[in-house]
Amino acid sequence: MLTPVVRATSRIRIGRSHPFRGSAAIFILLLAVAGALTAFGFLAFPPVINDLESLTGELPTRLPAMLARLSQFPFFNRINAGNVIAWIRDWLSSAAAYLLVSFKAWAGAIVQFIAGFVLTLYFILEGDQAYRWFLSLIPAEPRQRLDSTLRRAATRMEKWLIGQLGLMLILGTVSTIVYLSLGVRYAYVLGVLSGLLNLIPVLGAAVSLVLGLLVASIDSWGRVLGVAIFWVIYLQIENTWLVPRIMHSRVHLPALAIFIALLLGSALGGIPGAMVAIPTAVLVSVLADEYLVKKDSTLPAP
C-alpha cells in the first residue's frame, strides 16, 4: 500500500536532481503522516476532552435527573438511581484495573506493530531484491511467465488501492463538511473515522452511520435527521455512480465476484480479511486467467 506513495515521492524533481529517493522518500512519508496526525489531534481531541471533563464533573448531578426521566416509561420505573450510580462507579474502577492489568498485552501489541512497520519499510526499500530472489527459486522456463503475471496483478492491485484511497478521501472530506455545517459535535473525528472505515466494505459505512447518529442525538433530533439524510444520499451516489466509475474499471471484477470475495474474506479473517479480500481476489483472478484459462495456448502443438 505504501510502495506507490514512496515511488511517487522518489520521482519528485528539484532542478535536475531527485532528492527524495530510497530512505529519503520514506522519511518524507513519515513526516507527512506525523504532520497529519498532529493536525488531526489539534482539531479533533480538544472538544472531546472538554466534553469528557464536563461530563465527569456533572455526572453526579445530571445522572439522577436522567434516571428520573427514564422512570416515567414502563420497565424503567423499577430502576434504582443509587444502584445505577454504584454500578457506574464499580464499572469505572474495574475498567481502570483492567487497563492496568492488560498493560502487558498492550505493550506486546505495540511491539508487534513496530516490528510490522519496520518489516514494511524493509520491503519498500529491498522489495525488488527480495522479489528477484524469490523468482530465482523458480526454474528458468516458467520464471518469465510467472514474473509477467505477478507484475500484471500488482498493477491491477495498485489501481484498486488508488481507487479505494480516492473513495476514502471523498467520503472523509464530504462527511466532515456536512457535520460542520450541521453543527454536529466532533465533526473532524467523525469525518476522519468515516473516511478510514470506508476501507472496510459495507461494515465500515454501517459503523460510521451509527456513530454519526449517536453523536448527533446528543444535541437535537434535527441533526439526527440531517445526518440520516446525508448518509442515504451519499450511499446512493457512491453505489450507483462513484464505485462503478472508480472501482470496477480498475479492478475488472464482476460485482458478484467482489461480493463473494468479501464474504470469504470476512469469514476467514474477520475485518482484516474483508480489507484484503478484493486485492486478493484480483491476484487470484490474474493467476487463474493465466494458468487455467490460457493454459491450452502454452501446450505444444500435436
What pLDDT sits at residue 88? 64
More confident residue, 121 or 152: 152
Domain ranges (residues) in the chain: 148-295
Helical residues (DSSP H) of the chain, grouped into ranges:
3-10, 23-70, 81-101, 103-136, 140-182, 187-197, 203-216, 221-237, 243, 249-251, 255-275, 277-288
The residue type at 162:
I
Instruction: Kindly state the percentage of the chain with pLDDT values over 90.
Output: 9
Question: pLDDT tens digits for 262-289?
Answer: 888 888 888 778 778 888 888 898 898 8
pTM of this structure = 0.67
More confident residue, 62 or 191: 191
State how far the Cα of 226 lies from the Cα of 221, in Å rounded to an integer. Answer: 9
Instruction: Kindly state the percentage of the chain with pLDDT values over 70.
Output: 71
**How far lies 260's CA from each of 84, 256, 265, in Å?**
46, 6, 8
What pLDDT sits at residue 92? 59
The residue type at 223:
R
More confident residue, 146 or 123: 146
What pLDDT sits at residue 175? 93
Mean pLDDT across the stretch 211-233?
Answer: 89
Question: Which residues fall within 8 angstroms of residue 264, CB to CB, at 6 or more apart?
Answer: 273, 277
Evaluate if residue 8 carries a pLDDT over 50.
yes
The C-alpha cell that represents 193 in the structure block: 473515522
Question: pLDDT tens digits for 74-120?
Answer: 555 565 555 666 666 666 566 556 655 566 666 677 777 777 777 77
For the chain, what is the mean pLDDT?
77
Evaluate if residue 64 carries a pLDDT over 50.
yes
